[in-house]
Amino acid sequence: MTPRIDSGFLFLIGATIAAAVLVALQSGPGHALQTALGALGFLAVLLPKIGAGVVIAATIPVLIPRERISTWIGRESGVKGLAAATIAGALLPGGPSMAYPLTASLLVSGADLGASLAFVTGWSLFNLNRTLIWELSFLPYDFVAVRVGLALLTPILVGMLARAIWKPT
């Protein structure tokens, strides 16, 4: 498998180099090196999580038939499919290293764009882990309830809008 170098990757490399140069000019080369080493340490911690997320996501097309995923959260699944994707996103533990590989896997396994966007939006807005552990620990219950209530239909509306705008070819 050949490495994929696309415009997004090149942009990130350019931004990284520009940031390193700016840090070196502003705070000195030693600080730039210290920052780079800290980032590499963070990368060493993050890579296994990303790897696990990708491996888990890769198993979905093997374990669940495309027809079943398409029935549950495909284009013809209607609002019920968007609600299911929203709930699945909200219940998904973990961060982006789980959510995004899983979303990519669902897309290639029969989920449509609307359900995939509802999944990511549900994960972003209603992640149960974050809501229970962080929000309810620090914020008043009524604040969290109003936030959740106001955002409740957002993933479904995003999914419906995506389905209305994007027609598969």
Task: Report the percentage of the chain scoring pLDDT > 90.
Answer: 65
pLDDT on residue 2 = 64
Instruction: List pLDDT tens digits, range 95-144.
Output: 888 899 899 999 988 999 999 999 999 999 999 888 999 999 999 999 99
Handedness of CA 120, 40, 14, 2 (dihedral sign): negative
Specify whether 34 is located in the same domain as 93: no
Asked if residues 112 and 74 have their Cβ atoms less than 8 Å apart, the reply is yes
Q: What pLDDT is recorded for position 14?
A: 95
The CA dihedral of 32, 35, 36, 37, to the nearest 10 degrees, is 120
Domain range for 18: 1-52
Clarify whether residues 73 and 148 are in a common domain: yes
Instruction: Say whether both 31 and 85 belong to one domain.
Output: no
Instruction: Say if residue 48 is in the same domain as residue 68.
Output: no
Q: Using 50, 70 and 90 to split pLDDT, how confident is the model at 3? A: low
For residues 139 and 101, what is the distance between their CA atoms, to the nearest angstrom? 31
How many domains are contained in the chain? 2
Residues 121 and 48 in one domain: no
Q: Could you tell me if 41 and 97 lie in one domain? A: no
Mean pLDDT of 5-20: 90
Q: Are 163 and 75 in contact (CB under 8 A)?
A: yes
The yes-or-no verdict on residue 44 having pLDDT over 60 is yes
Query: Considering the domain boundaries, does residue 94 fall inside one?
Result: yes
Average pLDDT estimate for 31-57:
89
43 and 115 in a single domain? The answer is no
- Shared-domain flag, residues 70 and 48: no
Same domain, yes or no: 69 and 47: no
Q: What is d(CA 54, CA 94) in angstroms, rounded to the nearest whole number?
A: 13
> 60 vs 65, 86, 107, CA distance in Å?
8, 18, 11
- Burial status of residue 121 (CB atoms within 10 A of its CB: 0-12, 13-18, 19 or more): buried
Q: Which of 3-7, 11-15, 44-48, 95-99 is the least confident region?
A: 3-7
Residue 9 CA, distance from chain mean position = 18
The answer to whether residue 41 is domain-embedded is: yes
Residue at which a domain ends, from 26, 52, 78: 52
For residue 131, tell me if it sits in a domain.
yes
What's the whole-number mean pLDDT along residues 39-62? 86
Question: Does residue 57 form part of some domain?
Answer: no
Domain-located, residue 137? yes
